[in-house]
Amino acid sequence: MVLESLVTTVAGALLATVGVLVGGAVTRRAQDQQWIRDQQLAAYQELFSHYAKFTMELRRAHGDGRGWDYDWGEWSAALLRVSLVAPREVATEIDNFGRAINSFLDQVERGERTPLRNPLSPEEFEVARQAPALAQVKLVNAIRRSLSDDHQGLPFGIGG
């Protein structure tokens, strides 16, 4: 009878200890997943914030026929930060987005059409902005898929 009590007590203590360890591991994993999700959201927000700012500034520069300046180091830093936390599918779309923006800048800033030398009309600017706008929609949808069960995505862009 004493042996049965001892075995029962030891088994109960052992099971409680295992429960605490498993619970701790599950909690830690959930916290790690929440932390990475928070980091991803912050990096994505920063990237889109920079995109909206320089696009708007460039649009205004063309409209006013004036020069403009942007801290491209911050844009590069935002791309680097997002590359640290983005899953592969999102990183691929970020690369496509960056390429579309580079092509856009070739059309509206680096070539013959600059705000000072030969500004684009608002209509021409919108035509030039179509490739980055489409890449933005694809990127947003990849982000939405990676963060939730939204497999349908958005058929249109918002902002930018």
| pLDDT score, position 48 | 95
Q: Is position 85 within any domain?
A: yes
| Residue at 158 is within a domain | no
Contacts 24+ apart (CB under 8 A), 107-116: 108/58, 108/62, 109/58, 115/58, 115/61, 115/62, 115/64, 115/65, 115/66, 115/67, 115/68, 116/65, 116/66, 116/67
The answer to pTM > 0.85 is no
Which residue segment(s) compose the domain that 67 sits in?
A: 39-147
Domain count, the chain: 1
Short-list 128, 53, 57, 44, CA closest to 91: 44
- Is position 10 within any domain? no
Q: What is the pLDDT of residue 77?
A: 94
Exposed/middle/buried for residue 47 (C-beta within 10 Å: 0-12, 13-18, 19+): buried
What pLDDT tens digit does each residue of the chain (160 aa) get?
777 776 677 676 666 666 766 666 666 677 778 999 999 999 999 999 999 999 999 999 999 999 999 889 999 999 999 999 999 999 999 999 999 999 999 999 988 889 998 999 999 999 999 999 999 999 999 999 998 877 777 777 776 5
Which residue type occupies 81?
A: R
Which among 58, 73, 86 has a CA at the least distance from the CA of 145? 86
To the nearest 10°, report the CA torsion of 3, 8, 14, 17: -140
Does residue 77 belong to any structural domain of this protein?
Answer: yes
Question: Do the domain assignments include residue 22?
Answer: no
Q: Which residues, 6 or more positions from 116, have their beta carbon under 8 angstroms from its beta carbon?
A: 65, 66, 67
32, part of any domain: no
Residue ranges in 65-129 assigned as alpha helix (H): 72-85, 88-105, 122-128
Query: Is 12 among the domain residues?
Result: no
The answer to whether position 9 is within a domain reads: no
